[in-house]
Every structure is written in C-alpha cells, then in structure tokens.
C-alpha cells in the first residue's frame, strides 16, 4: 500500500474542522456583542465625567508638560455631546478649558492638585482662585485636593486651612475629594467643605466587589453618607469600572462589565437624585506605570478617542475578535504546513488539535501583551515568551509528523535543545510566580504565555540541566498555594494561573527522570 493511501485523510480533515470550530468558538465567545439598556441618548446627557487632556503618548510626569490645544478643543467638543459637566484635577495647563467649556455649553468642577510640596500646592491654589473668579458662569464648584489624605501627603489640619483659604476668595462651593473611607477616618474635614466628594470604586476596595454586587455596595455607602453627613450634599466624585486588566477576587475588568456598571449606576443615580461624576472620559495609558494594565483602561472612550460603547449601543469585550481569529487561523495553518503529513491515524487526530491549542495560546498571549506591555523591556519579555511558544509548538508538531529530510533535521535540532526551552519556561514561570506572590496588586495573570510549553513538555518530557530544573520546579510549586490564598478561590484568573503553574511543575518534574543523551 502506498504512503498516500495510508494517509488517514478523513481523520485528519475531521480534526482540522474540529480545531477551526474550536478557534471560532473561542474568539466569538470572547467578542460576541451584548445588548444593554442605553445610559446616554441624543436627548439625554449625563451629569459629569473626569477629564485629563493627555494624549496617549503623554503623561503628567513629562517635563515640561506640553498639552496640545487642538486635542483639548476636540475632546471638549466630543464630550459635550454626552455630558453636562467635566471634572478636572489640576489647573496647570488648563487655562484655555473654561473658554472651550463655555463655547460648548459645559460646566466645570475644577480641581487643584494638593501635594506634599508646599510650593507646588500654593501655585495650584492660587491658580484655582484665579480661574474660579474669572469664570463664575462656567465653574460650578472647586475641589481642593484629590486623595491627598489617602496618599498621606498632607494632614487634615493642613487640608482644612487650604479649604478655608479658597473659600475666603471665591463665591463657588468648595469641596475635597477622597475615597469614602477617608472621610470617615478624618471627620474633622467635613465641617470645612460645602459638600462632600466621595470616591466609590468597587474594583479597588480592600474587599473587591464583583459586578453582580458592585452597584448594591455603591448604594449602601451612598446611603450611609447621606444619613451621617446631612444636611451637607454628597457628590459621588469618582465611580466606574475598568475595561481591561487583572481580576481582583470576583471583580473582573471587561468592556461588558464596565458597560453594565456604568449604565446600571447612571440609572440608579438618576432614580435617586444623586449627583455624580464618572471616571473617566478617556483611557489614560500613563496610569499603567503606577497601577498596572488596569490603570490605563477606565475610560468611556479609548486613548484614540474612539467610542468603547460603554454608554450606549451593543458592547463587546473584544471588538476585534475577528482579527484575532484570523491571526490564530494563520498560526493554525502554518503549524500544519510545517508538520506536513501525520505519521498515523492517531497523529492525524492529534496534530490539528495541537495546532489549534497552540494558535489559541499564542494569539491570547499576543492580545494580552498588547494590552499590558508599557515599555521596551516588557515588549522584549512578551516577544521572548512568544518565541518560546513558537518553539514549543514547532517541536511538538514535528514530533507528530512523518518527517522528510529537512523536517527531520529541524526536529533533531529542536529536540536536542528542548531541555533549554523547558528551562526557559520554568525560569519565566518562577519570575512571574514570585511577582504574583510578593507584589501582585498590579500584575496580570499570564497563563496563556506558559500553558502551551507546560502541556507540550508534560506530555513529552525532555532532558535538561537537572539542578536548575529542580530549583525552578520548587520555586513555582511553592508559590501556587500562597498566590491562591491571596487571590481567593473566587478569582478565576488566579485559578487558571495555578493550573498552568501546576502543569509546568509537572513538566519540570517529569523531565528530571529523562536521562540526557551522551555521545559515544
């Protein structure tokens, strides 16, 4: 019987179809649009949104800060379509904003940035007084400091003195803004303000609230403040939900969850007559430096000023899901072409499924790296892990295939160095695990980066440097339970990382039983 006749065409085609269907289901499942009741319509504007005028390549830490007037003008025109008011956090560089707001019929709640540097704070306070008196028809209220008590940059007594100074020079109401717990910790600040500005961010709570309970917790805190501080009014100065980033217990960032929270909150706030400000108008990539990936994705619009469909219309967690399906489809086809003809009926079934798994892992990791990587070092790290996945996938695919001469040479080379691919995976796993145990708050869970090498070398152990492999296995294994304890079993992303880590430990441990080949 010829080699062509022995080729199990039916099994191979069936498995290919199954792999393609799995990839399609994966990406459509992530990206399918969800219909929700709109929060904003052409005839219904929302109250207020936080606004900072930085482009996606800018940061408040840049010196000097060169804000672009054309960016600010376009932003204000866009936001005026859906909001009645904007909240700012500093007066530096925003001298042109009141005129733009007046032009588009917007009101402003202007903030002065209060820091531990008294000279910088004085400049902000003087600027706040000046701009409030110059635009009484545009500026409805002013905020003296944002979370300065949380950051421990001023004392309550210093803050009260600043508030009193501003009140003595302007006619508008004066407030201070902080996370709600800090109003309770420092009740002496409340008598100094005209109204309280509280921040309610269920994702960032010490006991994070999932999307199903977040609105109820917001309502509960708002009721407590309304009762305890009456007759002073309450402004919910920040509330929102991130669209990307790591899960915290049951609090899962996603565009759909962001839309659920924002639209549900707006309906609840307007039903109860609450004053509110949503955080924030636009995604701010610079915040990823201090808050991890999640910090850059609180915007109602993305950093390119494109609508994320958070306020109205159908919303998708991954609007470009068809692009990532195409990417994974190309990887799937390329893997099959690299492998060539399967060596048996069994490998004819396994090879397309391996190709689909590899394509999914590589595309998922690429999408996560696109969201989380901030600077050259992180991009290089992401590229190294991508290369590791490609090596592991190529090695496994060639192991299942009937080998022509060049495929045999490539497989021999990959097989001879596979121990080092495993060590690289173990090293990456140990580094990532240490980070997630020692400093987890702002770190994402990179399960997709190591799942494929873990599975490949668990099923096909390879020889490698034994001492290094044993140390890496112990480091990764020792971190599994502590990171799960920190994250709790309700965090599905943490569970996924624990499973990936356990598979990687198994692969490392099995490799210790493989004896290295020696040349005679």
Q: Is 404 helix (H, G, I), strand (E, B) or coil?
A: coil
Place of tokens 């010490």: 206
Measured CA to CA, the distance from residue 103 to residue 294 in angstroms comes to 34
Measured CA to CA, the distance from residue 397 to residue 331 in angstroms comes to 12
The predicted structure's pLDDT at residue 59: 87
Q: Please, which pLDDT band fits residue 312 given cuts at 50, 70 and 90? A: very high
Residue 152 tokens, joined: 């421990």
Q: Please, which pLDDT band fits residue 64 given cuts at 50, 70 and 90? A: confident
Instruction: Flag whether pLDDT at 519 surpasses 70.
Output: no
Q: What would the pLDDT profile of 358-377 be if each residue is shown by its tens digit?
A: 999 999 999 999 999 988 99
The predicted structure's pLDDT at residue 70: 94
43-296 classified as CATH 3.10.620.30:
no
Cis peptide before 231 (omega within 30 of 0): yes
Residues composing the chain: 520
The predicted structure's pLDDT at residue 515: 78
**Percent share of the chain, pLDDT over 70:** 98
Q: What is the mean pLDDT of residues 393-400?
A: 96
Name the pairing type of β-strands 83-87 and 195-199: unpaired
Measured CA to CA, the distance from residue 163 to residue 176 in angstroms comes to 8
Q: What would the pLDDT profile of 173-212 be if each residue is shown by its tens digit?
A: 999 999 999 999 999 999 999 999 999 999 999 999 999 9
Q: What would the pLDDT profile of 150-177 be if each residue is shown by its tens digit?
A: 999 999 999 999 999 999 999 999 999 9
**Percent share of the chain, pLDDT over 90:** 89
The predicted structure's pLDDT at residue 5: 44
Measured CA to CA, the distance from residue 520 to residue 494 in angstroms comes to 47
Measured CA to CA, the distance from residue 429 to residue 354 in angstroms comes to 22
Task: Provide the b/e sequence for 354-368 (b: ≥16 CB within 10 Å).
Answer: bbbbbbbbbbbbbbb
How much is the pTM? 0.94
Instruction: Flag whether pLDDT at 1 surpasses 60.
Output: no
The predicted structure's pLDDT at residue 517: 61
Stated as kind and residue range, the H or E segment containing 449 is helix 447-459
The predicted structure's pLDDT at residue 4: 45
Domain boundaries, the chain: 3-30+319-511, 43-296
| Averaged confidence pLDDT in the chain | 95
The predicted structure's pLDDT at residue 134: 98
No. of helices (H) and no. of strands (E), the chain: 17, 8
Q: Which of 275, 317, 278 is nearest to 300 (CA)?
A: 278
Which range (125-129, 340-344, 353-357, 413-417) has the least confidence?
A: 340-344
Q: Please answer whether residues 363 and 324 qualify as being in contact, where contact means their C-beta atoms are separated by less than 8 angstroms.
A: yes
In 135-254, which residue ranges form alpha helices assigned H by DSSP?
156-167, 180-185, 211-228
DSSP string for residues in 81-126? TTEEEEE-S--TT-TTHHHHHHHTT-EEEEEE---S-HHHHHHHHH
Query: Half-sphere exposure of 20 toward its Cβ, with a 13 Å CA cutoff?
Result: 11
* Sign of the alpha-carbon dihedral angle for 350, 354, 355, 357: positive
Q: Which of 129, 221, 112 is nearest to 176 (CA)?
A: 112
Beta bridge partners of 108: 86, 139
């Amino acid at each position: 019987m010829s080699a062509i006749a022995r080729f199990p065409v039916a099994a191979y085609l069936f498995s290919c179809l199954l792999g393609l269907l799995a990839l399609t289901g994966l990406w459509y499942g992530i990206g399918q649009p969800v219909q929700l009741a709109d929060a904003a319509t052409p005839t219904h504007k929302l109250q207020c949104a936080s606004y900072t005028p930085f482009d996606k390549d800018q940061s408040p830490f840049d010196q000097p800060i060169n804000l672009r007037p054309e960016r600010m003008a376009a932003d204000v025109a866009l936001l005026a379509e859906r909001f009645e008011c904007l909240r700012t956090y500093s007066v530096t560089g925003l001298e042109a904003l009141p005129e733009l707001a007046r032009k588009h019929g917007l009101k402003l709640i202007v903030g002065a940035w209060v820091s531990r540097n008294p000279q910088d704070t004085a400049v902000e306070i003087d600027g706040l007084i000046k701009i409030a008196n110059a635009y009484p028809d545009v500026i409805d209220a002013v905020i003296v400091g944002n979370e300065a008590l949380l950051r421990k940059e001023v004392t309550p007594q210093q803050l009260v003195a600043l508030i009193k100074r501003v009140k003595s020079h302007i006619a508008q109401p004066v407030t201070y803004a902080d996370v709600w717990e800090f109003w309770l910790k420092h009740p002496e600040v409340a008598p100094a303000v005209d109204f309280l500005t509280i921040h309610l961010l269920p994702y960032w709570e010490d006991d994070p609230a999932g999307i199903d309970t977040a609105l109820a917790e917001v309502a509960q805190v708002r009721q407590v403040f309304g009762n305890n501080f009456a007759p002073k009014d309450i402004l919910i100065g920040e509330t929102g939900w991130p669209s990307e980033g790591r899960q915290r217990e049951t609090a899962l960032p996603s565009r759909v969850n962001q839309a659920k929270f924002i639209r549900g909150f707006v309906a609840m706030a307007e039903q109860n007559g609450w004053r509110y400000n949503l955080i924030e108008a636009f995604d701010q990539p610079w915040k990823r430096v201090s808050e991890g990936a999640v910090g850059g994705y609180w915007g109602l619009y993305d950093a390119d000023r494109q609508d994320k469909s958070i306020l109205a219309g159908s919303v998708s967690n991954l609007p470009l899901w068809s692009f990532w399906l195409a990417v994974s489809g190309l990887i799937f086809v390329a893997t099959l072409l690299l492998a060539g003809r399967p060596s048996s009926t069994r490998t004819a079934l396994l090879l397309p499924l391996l190709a689909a798994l590899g394509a999914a892992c590589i595309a998922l990791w690429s999408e996560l790296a696109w969201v989380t990587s901030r600077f050259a070092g992180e991009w290089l790290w992401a590229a190294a892990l991508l290369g590791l996945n490609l090596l592991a996938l190529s090695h496994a695919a060639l192991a299942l295939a009937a080998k022509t001469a060049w495929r045999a040479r490539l497989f021999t080379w990959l097989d001879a160095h596979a121990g080092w691919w495993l060590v690289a995976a173990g090293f990456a796993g140990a580094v990532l695990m240490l980070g997630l145990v020692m400093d987890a708050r702002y770190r994402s869970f990179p399960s997709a980066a190591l799942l494929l090498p873990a599975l490949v070398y668990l099923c096909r152990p390879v020889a490698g440097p034994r001492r290094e492999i044993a140390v890496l296995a112990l480091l990764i294994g020792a971190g599994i339970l502590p990171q799960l304890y920190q994250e709790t079993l309700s965090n599905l992303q943490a569970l996924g990382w624990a499973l990936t880590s356990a598979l990687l430990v198994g692969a490392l441990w099995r490799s210790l039983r493989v004896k290295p080949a020696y040349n005679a």
